[in-house]
Amino acid sequence: MSRIILLVCIILLFSSAPAISASPMVEAFKEYQAALGIGDINKADEAGERAWKLAEEAGKTKTAAVLAYNLAELRLRYLPDADAITPARRVAEIKESGVEIAIDQEDIDILLSLSEYLQKESGLNLKLLTRAVKNYKTSEKVATYSVFIAQMNLITNAINRNKWQGVNGLSIDAQKSFQENELSDTNLLLDLKFLQIASLITFDKEFKAKTYQPVFQDIYNLLKPGPFNKVGDRYLKFRAWIGTVNSYLSQGLQKRGEVIELIYRDPADPYVANQHDGLCPDFIWDKKAPPKYPSLQLERGYIGSAVIIFNLNEYGEPKKVSVGAEVPSKQFGVYAVRAVKNWRGHFTSKPSDACLARQRTAIMKFIILEE
């Protein structure tokens, strides 16, 4: 759990008076700890609330504040439908009363504003949550899990309102909070980095590949892709975002002169190995028209790409054409599939059945050509 220090504080409070050691409050707290140790969250929640209420009844306000804080954090992290607001408000109330408790104001503000925002996503609650996250960042404290969840909710809200300008900073902060909480969901971290790329491309006016290269390198290091037939959806999304960024850089070429394209080709990269595995005879495309730009996306100024997966038959016709990944919207995948289905080519010699069974990929870039 993210509040080990506070739990230690409770233990110290309990150990300070031998007469308390056998109290129902202590027994409930021990049940809470034991349930957490085996991952029984519902039992931990029940025992944690009981310990908190018993502390309140015994007039042990400092202990009650810490127990209420832990209970609210537990519910925010593991039980999103449970009531986190009541214990969070109680912690704030005790702090405001002047009682000295081992919980910083920034932690309380995050806990309470996040609880209230999750219950009702009003404009006022959004403002309070935004302010709490900003104050926490200013304090330079190590992020709690609640801070991370608050940042994720602010990112979601910004995307839903098409306010991409703040997504880049929020994504970077959330990545830092992810590390500080020692979280292990790599896919979540990858998604944060993809959001960082999406935000960068929205507001970048410099058209420089070096802006994106470090982020793509981080993504690739996290992906650690294996053979092509074992790569996951996020690897294909990685390739689609590279295509999107290169489309953007290509437009910069028209406006700013020479621009270095982002190239990411590692010899061990399954995308590269799949193209040169020696399984098939040489193949030559005779007809390979680029995809048509989706009209609505063109009107909105969206830049995107798609990774298309397909097989070739012995006549050089694409078969089993499907979308591996598409960003930032589905229309790019739809138009890319239409284009690939009309491609035609030929093998320089008769292909084997294994060759025809091999999946191929194509990164379809969409470029807005200025007149």
pLDDT at residue 136, as a whole number: 97
Tell me the per-residue pLDDT of 45-87, one tens digit each, with 9 for 90 and over: 999 999 999 999 999 999 999 999 999 999 999 999 999 999 9
Residue 312 amino acid letter: L
Residues 6+ apart with CB under 8 A from 258: none
Indicate the pTM of the whole model.
Answer: 0.82
Residues of the chain with pLDDT under 50: 1-9, 11-12, 15-20, 257-259, 267, 371
Quick count: other Cβ atoms within 10 Å of Cβ 201? 22
Could you tell me if 51 and 28 are in contact, meaning their C-beta atoms sit under 8 angstroms apart? yes
Listed as own residue / partner, the contacts of 47-55 with beta carbons closer than 8 Å and 24 or more positions apart are 48/74, 49/87, 51/25, 52/87, 54/23, 54/24, 54/25, 54/28, 55/25
Q: Domain 204-371: give its CATH superfamily.
A: TonB (3.30.2420.10)
Mean pLDDT score of the chain = 86
Tell me the per-residue pLDDT of 160-202, one tens digit each, with 9 for 90 and over: 988 888 899 999 999 999 999 999 999 999 999 999 999 988 8
Q: What residue spans define the domains of the chain? A: 1-103, 104-183, 204-371
